[in-house]
Structure 1
Amino acid sequence: MLKSFTDLVVLELGHIYNGPYCGLLFAHLGAEVIKVEPLSGERLRTRARGDADPQEFIMLNSNKKSVALDLKSEAGKDAFLKLVDKADVLVENYAPNTLERLGLGLESLLERNPRLVIASGKGYGTSGPYSQMPAMDLTVQAMSGAIGSTGFADGPPVKSGPAFTDFSGGIHLFGGAMAALFDRTATGKGQIVEVSMHDTIYPMLTSALSALHNQPDSQLPERTGNQHSGLAIAPYNVYQAADGWLAIICASDHHWVRLAKALGFGEAVDDPRFADPVGRAEHMDEIDALVTGATKALTRDEISELLGGAGVPFAPVKTLREVDTDPHLIEREMIRYVDHPENGRVPVVGNPLKMSALQPGAELGIAPKVGADQAEVLGRLLGLDAEQAEALRAVPVRL
């Protein structure tokens, strides 16, 4: 019976962002996360030259261990299967049928270890007409409607800046694995949890899709820029300031009244066109002109002081350089720093799960080098001596 997260053994066959972020959440909670990599390392490592690892790999692989195995070799496959026997969770986000071609189909792994929870991240899942399509964050953004609904009506579709489909898939994968672990406490049995990145985006389009049904006879544009996806709320936009931009939303009548008075156009409150949310949405362009006329003459700080005092929902549009040193993220330990032997002092991703009764240790280790924990992990879990463990890292000769 597992007593804590520190008793969990998690194998991660993860690469790029999806699987590794799921594994990182387990690592943050204290689980032993063993990254099983190809001999040359997972794909994300290739974004830097030489022996150095890229910043994105460093950010997502703290507190993990690395074992390098050639899963195409009998020795490597045998070692991996013995690790499966010891594991509680297997996280994988390989392309469809990859593990099956290696003779490591998920059903056979579950049959081998019936208590194993297998968290399988896929672009489009293993069923449906898209299941065999190559999937990366960009392509899933395109297929899901995210790109089609992003941008301005008179311009081309635009992808989201963040790789949100990759990370949405990883977050849901972690949630699914945790649900399966909870179920295992009652049944004693593991199961396969599949999460399609594509599936996780549909709920995020609720506002945009609802506009199709709320106003079925209208010709709403699919792309609404920074305005509300369903064009149902105003003010709702990103407005120009003298030194940048701010996002402002008025979700209620009292927000609108307070905004108008704070920014100096209080007379608009009495305009019958703007008397209720429906009217303001119908006159969105006029509302935006009023707000922009006030904000463009003020700095972000000046607007923040006015709207903050009035209780209006707003936020300055932060640049990436500002986010990189955001004091709020630093205080909440979402941005943490490690001293990397090659990259120096660099930021890594902290734990977004704040739990009152679970406080993992404060130390945050650096991402491991390929196979850095080969001897320790395979010695402790499989009983191999150091020479046997290191021999599994030898590049085989293939004829």
Structure 2
Amino acid sequence: MDVAIMGHYRADRLVTALRRHDAERIWLCGPVDVRAGLGPGVRYRYLAADAGVDDVLALWAHVGAQVVVPSLYPLQQEQLLHTLATAAQLVAAGGRRVHVHPPAFAEAVSDKVLFHRLALDRGWPVPEGIVCEDRTELAAALRQLGPPVMVKTGRSVPWEGRWYLDGPDDLGTADGMVFPVVAQRVCRGEEFGVELLTDRGSTLRWPIASFGPLDARCMPGWRTRLMPAALPTTVRHDLDAFVTDVTDLLAPCGAWQIDMAVEAGELRVLEVNGRFGGMAHLSRAVTGIDPYQALATAALGGRPPTPTAVRVAAELPLSLGAHLPADDAVRVEVERPSPTEPCLPSHFHRTLVVADDPAALADWIGGLPAGAWADHVPPAADGRSTPPR
């Protein structure tokens, strides 16, 4: 069976998984050729990040793959998701299995303004917010919501198209703002995330990850991440209801991810993405089931196993020259940028630490010297950067 991978993000993990399923020929399709890191036998076809539906259909016809699965790089290819969804609808009866989300889901998760409006209509627990069509409306929203406020453009990518504003005077610093935007009251509390895979009406969930206290930079990758993390019972029930409503209404097909916060004991859905997020290393380490292996299995028509937590893991932002203690009870892996995962930081190391015993993990993290932490991250004194015993 021939398989076409759309995009290059973590394509090495998808290629490895597809080979385990005896894929006969694998095509990498996207704006970046990373075959050098994928092993022999992978073929490449260029597809621009802003390609249209006709371009996608022509490429699929050329490569002739029976299965198509996306692996879109968030910083350049996120908006291609809706294009793939539209193209998939046009070939639905053509004998090709295109494992991508339908247009309604793809559009909702690709446009933050549309998602906010949909959330208000459905009663989803998003932060209090106002859609603004121009700067006058935005200034009024800042006064109504009260500073600070997070402003997001509709179609933006991670780390871009969003502004943290302490008040109307900060509007002058918001260069490049394209309206409409959604202005949301900044949430306080702890940030969490979860990765999901939906296929043929069934949804798998990996364990919840904690990203620590929310901060003005909105950069969870700069904080300590911990998995598994527990949610309050009421929040867990609200999350279940949200996932059920999304799947019933929008029928996702493939990988997705929810970014959320718990504020004063209540769920706040911050964002939904139509792909796996930054938790995939944690998800694999904690459950032994790689989300990308599961994605490949589902794309080829199989049923992936249900992921459950069998160990604990943390991702720590550590300095480049950090001395890491040796301990047989923990496994340590420094995550470095690569052609298939170029968005990892280079000015500090995200370091994955895995243990069977939560106490062993907590002891190892607690034993790190102060200088081991990256400059932007002070050692935690409130327990949020160390797992519970």
- TM-score band, normalised by the shorter chain? 0.3 to 0.5
**Larger helix percent:** 1
TM-score by length of 1: 0.31
Q: Calculate the TM-score normalised by the size of structure 2.
A: 0.32
